[in-house]
Amino acid sequence: MWALPASFGPMPAAVINYGVSLRISMEHLSGLDATFLHLETPEMPMHVGALHQLDLPEALEGDYIDAVKRHVADRMHLATVFTKKLALMPFDIANPVWVDDDDVDLDYHIRQITLPRPGTQAQLEAYVGRLHSSLLDRSRPLWEFYVFDGLASGQIGFYTKIHHAALDGQGAIVLANALLDLTPVPREVAPPRQHAQHDRAPYQPPVVDMLKAALRDTLIQCTRLVRGVPTGLKAVAGVVTQNNGEGGKRRLGLPSLSFAPKTPLNASITNQRVFATAKFSLKEALAVGKTFGGTLNDAVMAIVSGALRRYLEQHHALPERSLVAAVPVSLRAEGNTDMNNQVSMMLMQLASDEADPRQRMRAIVKASAKMKKTVSNVKSIMPTDFPSLGVPWLMSGLVALYGRSRLADRLPPIANVVVSNVPGPRMPLYLAGARMTTNFPVSIVTHGLALNVTVQSYNGALDFGMIACRRAMPDVQQFAACMVAAHEELLEAALEIQAAHEREQTGVSEAEVVPAKKRAAPRKAANKAVVPKAGAKPAPKRKPRAATAA
């Protein structure tokens, strides 16, 4: 849920002192926002969220859920997602609109659950998987919060659930700024502007007004598409016209397009979800990426690739060709804080056909650079808004037909897994006085893509959330263990490269150095040991510690 920027920093004054109402009588959904509504079926809920674990303040009086309700009530006006609900167009001729809900029932939206004994992490994750399986009520604002007690750790679990039509990762920044604080003492915010009784929004806008809004919005969307044609043609020309590397000459050609190999994860799904988490050291992952000349994102992709290779090998289902990841990319302009969706999807080879983790990581670094180049070429022509007349009933019908016919079981997949990496804050944050210790994302799976791996960096750690269709991956905890093993394998490979580099600089022969595998003893935690930087002095007494599945 909390897709926060790496430098969370001081709260903007516009957020802290928000005295202006965000109330909008009627706001049209963009084409991309509405797509998440049209794609939704009972088997494919289109909400996202997160699982947090919180340390309660010592001075807490009463139940924490009451503190959360008061906290949200005081800050609902800071983020429109809390108070806007859907109003459908007559006959579904166009996308719905957002309207204000002046009577939000916090007892419905914020609920408490007590885990049965012993209150383990596995129980908490299983409960989140079940909650993530059910649809949100479209007659209300599209969000729900759950407060868990009864954990053996003594902490509080906090699960958020928000429809993807309401916000993307960047839109979640606005939501996080509204609810989270930098200190245990919540900051003061200005109260919302009071509306007169006669100014309250009606339950549904008049039909005539909605039809006028649909026609007006369609005209605006068509105009934007026409104006974007010249830019689009330039971008297409840049993709089709490629450099052949000989004297700077350019030739015509199309990017190579191919399907991904078939795996058990590429099938029709049910509405049942399973969820697991894993937590790794951010410093270790950054150092691994640097060792191979890559980035943090490359290290994340390599961990997922290694885990998938291990998991599918254990199930005798590893294809000979490389798996392909669908990777969300942001289309949002810098400084844009609109709480809508401005995102698209790109494809990236995972090099899962490489048994050697070093060769796999190097191949991923190259594939990542290729994907980034493609994104820079086509980003300007990827639409986030488009005409919607007739789209709702047409798209919803096609999606229902696709699911019921089980075409995903027969068609070759475009990708095998969705992998998303969201940068987050480097410092601890607080919710209603409680310190947030984890930030595990909970995302979306679809027909043909039964596994989604999303990672959020937070306070020196990488928090992985893995959501899957229960029928396609009932043993998601086993996959979480494969993630731990893949991280250890990658870290060990990086240590070996560093050791070889140090031997070259010092002139010590390999026979005189203790093998890296003997040096790499298992570890209990995941936030201290760091891969040495290039050129650093050897530190044979430092033993890498095993990352742990949460």
Q: At the topology level of CATH, where does 21-183 sit?
A: Chloramphenicol Acetyltransferase (3.30.559)
R_g over Cα of the chain: 25
The single-letter code of the amino acid at 166 is: A
Separation CA 365–CA 152 (nearest Å): 41
Tell me the per-residue pLDDT of 220-268, one tens digit each, with 9 for 90 and over.
Answer: 656 655 555 555 545 445 544 455 444 555 554 445 568 999 999 999 9
Are the C-beta atoms of 221 and 386 separated by less than 8 Å? yes
Minimum mean pLDDT among 146-155, 341-350, 385-394: which range?
Answer: 385-394
User: Are the C-beta atoms of residues 133 and 272 closer than 8 Å to each other?
Assistant: yes
In this structure, the strands spanning 97-100 and 27-28 are antiparallel
Largest CA distance in the chain: 85
Domain ranges of the chain: 21-183, 273-379+404-519
Same fold, 21-183 and 273-379+404-519: yes
The full DSSP string for 40-73 is: -BTTB--EEEEEEEEEPPTT--S-HHHHHHHHHH
The tokens describing 260, both together, are 């991904």
Distance CA 490, CA 493 (A): 5
Compute φ and ψ for 449, nearest 5 degrees: -135, 80
d(CA 455, CA 439): 9
State the DSSP code for 273.
E
Return d(Cα 382, Cα 544) in angstroms, integer. Answer: 43
**CATH class in words for 273-379+404-519:** alpha beta
DSSP string, 412-455: PPS-SEEEEEE---SS-EEETTEEE---EEE---BTTB-EEEEE
Q: Is the peptide bond before 118 cis (omega within 30 degrees of 0)?
A: yes
Residue 92: its pLDDT value, please? Answer: 75
Give 267-303 pLDDT, tens digit per residue: 999 999 999 999 999 999 999 999 999 999 999 999 9
pLDDT at 31: 78
Positions marked active-site: 164
Residues 6+ apart with CB under 8 A from 423: 4, 5, 6, 457
Q: How confident is the model at residue 390 (pLDDT cuts 50, 70, 90)?
A: low
Q: Choose between 65 and 3: higher pLDDT.
A: 65
pLDDT single digits (tens) 139-188: 999 999 999 999 999 999 999 999 999 886 566 777 888 999 999 999 99
The span from the CA of 83 to the CA of 101, in Å, is 5
Handedness of CA 331, 413, 416, 293 (dihedral sign): negative
> By percentage, how much of the chain surpasses pLDDT 70?
69
| Three-state DSSP class for residue 143 | strand
Map tokens 């010592």 to a residue: 58
